[in-house]
Structures are given as structure tokens and as C-alpha cells.
Amino acid sequence: MLEADPTPQLAGSQRYLQCMSPLHSVAPLLLAAAFTPTHTHQLLHSRELWATVNVCSPKDQPNTIGIRGSMPGDGHTKDVMYMRFRVQYQDPTTKQWLNLTQGADSGFLKVGSAGLARQAGRSFQFAQATGKPAYTLRGDVIFQWRRGTTVLQTATEPTTAGHKSLAGADPHGYSAATCALT
């Protein structure tokens, strides 16, 4: 007997059954109707879809970067939203943003029902680099809307300044695109 694969699958990659019941043939149509191109466009271009650095090595949290994200709900209370927080550094030679490989990735975290917009965040603390030049960090947040194990939509946003964190900013109201740690 085959067990269901709990790993989230992209909505575009569907598995086909050899024998489909009437319910199985209607379900994909209902799912497609819930995420029309217009609805997807609204999610991906919403003012509620953003990422920011809301902590950058304050005195009470040295060598720490805090990344916060906001994502709009899709209006379906049974859908669930997830965020994944990653820290990137800017290569001083090429100026490209690269993912840090150790201890700088939260994995996907469940942030709640997709009925309404949600915010969440994670902080990452790094070892002090005494005597070395400062390095520039930023966050990269991957947002997912899921229904069961099906990923309905994915978006990725780098951190930008000018956003209002509902919690966790240090100092209060702090929002930046990058963070320089020494």
C-alpha cells in the first residue's frame, strides 16, 4: 500500500491517478478556481508582502540580525502560510548576495491561517569577528501559501527598508534593507 507523501508539492506538479473518482476530477478545478491569475497577482503585488531587517546588532543583542516578514492572507482560513528566513552576505569583490551556509536558515516555519495577513520574524546571532572588516548582511524571505501538502503559491523577497514591524524591532520602529556587522 502506498502512503501519502507529506512533502509539500508545487501546485503545478500534479500526480495523475489511473482511476479517478468524480470527486478527484472536480477537486483540481476547485483548487484552480481558488487561485486565479488575478488572485495570485494580488498576493504577489500586495503592500503586505515584504521583508525587512528589524534588528541590527543593538547593544542588548550584539552581532545579531533580525529579519521580519509580512505576507497577505489569501482569504481561505483552511490554507496555511509559511515563511523561511535566510541570511545572505554581500561578497565584497563581486557585490553579489550569497546565502550563508551554516546557522543562517530557519527552514519553513508555520505562521498561521491564511485568512488574514501575518507577520513573523527570526533573529540570527553570529560570532564576533574582531580585527576583520565589517561585512554586510541582508535577509531573504521565502513565503508559501499551502493547502494541505499542496503549495499554492511561493514568493521570495529580499529585505528592504521602510516597513512597520508589529513586534521585535530593536530599537522600536527600526527597518532597514541591510545590516553591517563588525
> Domain limits of the chain?
20-181
Asked if residue 109 has pLDDT above 70, the reply is yes
At 19 the pLDDT is 40
At 13 the pLDDT is 33
At 18 the pLDDT is 39
**Residue type at 113?**
S
Q: What is the mean pLDDT of residues 3-11?
A: 38
Reported confidence tier of residue 37, pLDDT bands at 50, 70, 90: low
Q: What is the pLDDT of residues 53-105, one digit of tens each?
A: 999 999 999 999 999 999 999 999 999 999 999 999 999 999 999 999 889 99
Q: Which residue has the cell 503559491?
A: 153
**Mean per-residue pLDDT of the chain:** 83
C-alpha cell at 101: 551556509
Report the CATH number of the 20-181 domain: 2.60.40
Q: What is the mean pLDDT of residues 110-115?
A: 96
Give the list of residues 6+ apart from residue 178 with CB closer than 8 angstroms, or none. 53, 90, 136, 137, 138, 159
Radius of gyration of the chain (CA): 19
